[in-house]
Structure 1
């Protein structure tokens, strides 16, 4: 009979697969890099196949690693759900969470997936809006918790700071256009004002080509080569290019990510999610693995 695979080895395997790096995986599972390497060797010995291609620029899964990935995700998820049922039966209910649209598809899954697995009886209701709108909803008691950005004028706890960048398409030279076409949020968007002030400071001509409150729409305009936009590091998508001073673009101030909590959100379920969000966002790598270099 084949030996059973240790779940701890599978957790490390998933961390490497998710981050694309032994170093970042070690931070995520709270182990040294050498301990992570030893665990991978032990896992590869158990399955009798190489699981990672270490010769690539980024650590990638081999075909056998891809085969194991689905099993590992299901095994770890079921283990965490089973543990949660017996160790934290009181954590059940509904929490409303607000998050800016810019982070909904890139940051949110990485932050909330582990919480959802370990607290299967908690229903998360997520609302997307601009940070100012989310903050007003918190004050009105319409949301329990919210993640906000550019929070200097909002009473929030800063939990992460990221570089803010001008971004263009890897496949197009839109950044050379004169005037420069910009894809930005509405007039109330802080990043729009920051970008315009920065371009004005160097005398760069620009025009507002696309305006939308939806980050996906702005990103689509960038990837299609129709405009340049402004994004923090964790929201940069594959095939986007960071535009720096070498490309003729001024440096931008950093972007703060903050966390706010409604007065009524004081139950154990709110405590658990709040602690999870603050810890996970604060410990994310500076650039998510599939962001463009």
Structure 2
């Protein structure tokens, strides 16, 4: 007698592997951790094999798990393609999404990929600029939904994630010890005020060594140990590192990653996109 695999369990399995654990996967799947664990157990019982090596400290796949992963990806891809092509024909058009460049990774690529599978005829116009410019564009009605990095949230906004700012410098760098402290900042950067205020309060002299309109220019200067910079924890460039200053630099405030969406363009694809954004950033 033919048996059928549970696609919900397969999706949980693939998401856990991709996310690196049940905790993070539960956010992407919008399920509790216990529900995700139950899906994994159900899949293993249906197959009669162990997919994960639970004796290991890390989340390692067994040989059967590695083999199953390839099959699961193909089955889910076909499932999503069928649903996307046959059930979403009425949704055609464009959604504009604005995201500050310093919080694009790692969440946005995954969000766009999942949205495209569900709504293949919808185009997402991605705008990347600073929070100040994004809020101005949103106020003019030029973008449907934006993410921002702010110390607080304005009326109509929704906080997806809150994290502290940290000082970053070159790997094994020493510039953070110099006084006056040399800073690399973007023009109109929303982190500029909190960083300078913290230094002033701590009585630490500073000077602007690099001022640019591109985050890449700032990152290049910091990675060359010409200056230090402030970012949201977890968003530092791979070419820089958090400064282990042991209190030599002041603590920085917590920053909110907020979402604002237009009330004039509510529809199913926009609701789906905002749900994906919630899941992705809350799982970080």
Where do 5+ consecutive residues of structure 1 fail to align?
286-293
Q: What's the TM-score once normalised by structure 1's chain length?
A: 0.77
Q: Name the structure 1 match of 2:283.
A: 284
Cα deviation 1:99-130 (Å, max 9, x = unaligned): 11112233312333322221112110111111
Structure 1 residue aligned with 2:84: 84
Match of 2:12 in 1: 12
Verify the 8 A CA contact 1:101 1:214 in the aligned structure 2: no
Aligned to 2:168: 167
Deviation at 1:192, TM superposition (A): 1.4
Counterpart-to-counterpart distance in 1, 2:239 and 2:54: 22
1:245–1:251 CA contact under 8 A, matched in 2: no
Mapping for residues 210-289 of structure 1, pairs under 5 Å = 210-238=210-238, 240-243=240-243, 246-262=246-262, 264-277=264-277, 279-281=278-280, 283-285=282-284
Following the alignment from structure 1 to structure 2, what is the Cα–Cα distance between the partners of residues 216 and 74?
37
**Partners of 1:66 and 1:136 in 2: CA distance:** 48
Shift of 1:236: 2.9
1:184 — aligned with what? 185
Q: Report the secondary structure of 2:123's partner residue.
A: strand
Alignment RMSD: 3.5
Q: Distance in 2 between matches of 1:4 and 1:119?
A: 27
The CA deviation string for residues 192-238 of structure 1, in whole angstroms up to 9 with x for no partner, is: 12111111211223332333333344334444444322111342345
In structure 2, relative to structure 1, the CA distance for the partners of 1:238 and 1:147 (3 Å cut) is same
Larger Rg: 2
1:36-67 CA-partner distances (Å, limit 9, x unpaired): 456546656849686568635x5356788667
Q: TM-score, normalised by structure 2?
A: 0.79
> Partner of 2:104 in structure 1?
104
For residue 127 of structure 2, give the secondary structure of its aligned residue in structure 1: strand
